């Protein structure tokens, strides 16, 4: 595992406190040339002036950048050994701290076929996740996705909305379970601000029933995931439901089996929890 820290080049992305796209391009060509086109393609459908630029300008805050970087250094120290101790496996992935274009605070992907966790400073600052606990959740969660892919026997092809919804709930649940293993804490949610977890607990069955309704209707479940969407004013509820689904599976199955569930098995668990 390599820790790739591009922090020292981030100031080149700004001129007099304002985001500079040419400066960002030079920065990417210097530090992450293989990722530049991928990053740009990922946000091709965003409106630059309204969706991207305000977030980038807010990321010019050097004090917040420093807080974020300090947390990143603490969390990634001896990270490979922590993973081996908690997950009983070595994860072949790089951890990259970089200034993206609103691609996401955390993004498990590949660069030249090498698994990587991309940590977007601009989104981390926007979400106010600069503290150490948030950084732990962010990095561990994305590593959880890579752990899942590394140990899963076969890749699933998602062709229908139903399959996409079932898979996202399950995959995010596995990543949340990995977070719990790595932190040694059950129900470790860096999203848990205010009464978020209490609300999820109180509305657990009702949210599962709503998820089932959408799955069976073939409708989108995107509003259960991501900071930019919400259900009843609560973001990221799908991460909570996903972990509950995985914990339900673990009551009767070994971890190896849970990491290799079929769509039918995921749906059976979902229906059980919604009953």
pLDDT digits (tens, 9 = 90+) for 153-178: 988 888 999 999 999 999 999 999 99
pLDDT in tens, 211-237: 999 999 999 999 999 766 678 888 889
Q: Can you give the length of the chain in residues?
A: 275
- Distances from the Cα of 58 to the Cα of 34, 134, 229, 260, angstroms: 26, 19, 20, 41
CA 260 to chain centre: 20
For residue 193, the model assigns a pLDDT of: 66
**pLDDT per residue as tens digits for the range 77-103:** 999 999 999 998 999 899 999 999 999
Tell whether the model's pLDDT for residue 204 goes beyond 90. Answer: yes
Q: Identify the residue with better confidence: 109 or 193.
A: 109
Averaged pLDDT, 125-131 = 94
The pLDDT, as a whole number, for residue 205 is 95
- CB 28 within 8 Å of CB 120: no
**pLDDT higher than 80, residue 137:** yes
Q: Largest alpha-carbon pair distance within the chain? A: 58
Query: Global pTM?
Result: 0.86
pLDDT in tens, 31-60: 999 999 999 999 999 999 999 999 999 999
The confidence score (pLDDT) of residue 229 equals 66
Domain boundaries, the chain: 2-151, 161-274
SS3 86: helix
Say yes or no to pLDDT of 240 above 80. yes
Contact 103, 122 (CB under 8 A): no
Residues 6 or more apart whose Cβ sits within 8 Å of residue 118: 35, 96, 98, 100, 103, 104, 106, 107, 108, 109
**CA 49/CA 169 separation, integer angstroms:** 32
What is residue 235's predicted lDDT score, i.e. its pLDDT?
80
Is the pLDDT at 190 greater than 70? The verdict is no
Q: How confident is the model at residue 191 (pLDDT cuts 50, 70, 90)?
A: low
d(CA 188, CA 243): 10
What is the per-residue pLDDT across 106-127, written as a single tens digit (0 to 9) for each? 999 999 999 999 999 999 999 9
- Paired with 117 in beta bridges are 95, 108
Position 157 scores a pLDDT of 85
* Cβ partners under 8 Å of residue 245, min gap 6: 169, 170, 173, 266, 269, 270, 273
pLDDT at 195: 85
pLDDT mean across residues, the chain: 93
| 83 in Cβ contact with 182 (< 8 Å) | yes
What's the confidence (pLDDT) of residue 226? 75
């Amino acid at each position: 595992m390599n820790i790739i820290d591009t922090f020292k080049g981030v100031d080149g992305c700004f001129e007099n406190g304002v985001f500079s796209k040419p400066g960002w391009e030079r920065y990417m060509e210097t530090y992450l040339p293989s990722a530049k086109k991928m990053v740009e393609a990922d946000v091709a459908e965003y409106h630059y002036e309204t969706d991207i630029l305000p977030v980038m300008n807010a990321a010019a805050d050097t004090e917040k950048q420093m807080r974020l970087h300090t947390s990143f250094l603490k969390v990634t120290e001896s990270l490979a050994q922590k993973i081996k101790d908690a997950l009983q496996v070595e994860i072949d992935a790089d951890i990259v701290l970089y200034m993206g274009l609103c691609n996401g605070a955390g993004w498990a992907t590949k660069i030249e076929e090498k698994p990587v966790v991309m940590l977007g400073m601009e989104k981390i600052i926007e979400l106010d996740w600069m503290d150490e606990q948030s950084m732990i959740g962010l990095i561990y969660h994305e590593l959880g996705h890579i752990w899942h892919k590394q140990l899963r026997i076969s890749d699933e092809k998602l062709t229908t909305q139903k399959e996409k919804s079932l898979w996202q709930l399950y995959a995010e649940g596995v990543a949340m379970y990995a977070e719990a293993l790595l932190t040694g804490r059950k129900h470790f949610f860096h999203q848990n601000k205010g009464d978020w977890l209490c609300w999820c607990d109180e509305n657990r069955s009702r949210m599962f029933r709503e998820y089932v309704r959408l799955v069976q209707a073939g409708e989108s479940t995107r509003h259960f995931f991501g900071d930019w969407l919400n259900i009843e004013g609560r973001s990221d509820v799908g991460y909570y439901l996903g972990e509950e689904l995985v914990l339900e599976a673990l009551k009767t199955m070994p971890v190896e089996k849970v990491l290799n569930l079929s769509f039918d098995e995921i749906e059976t668990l979902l229906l059980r929890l919604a009953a």
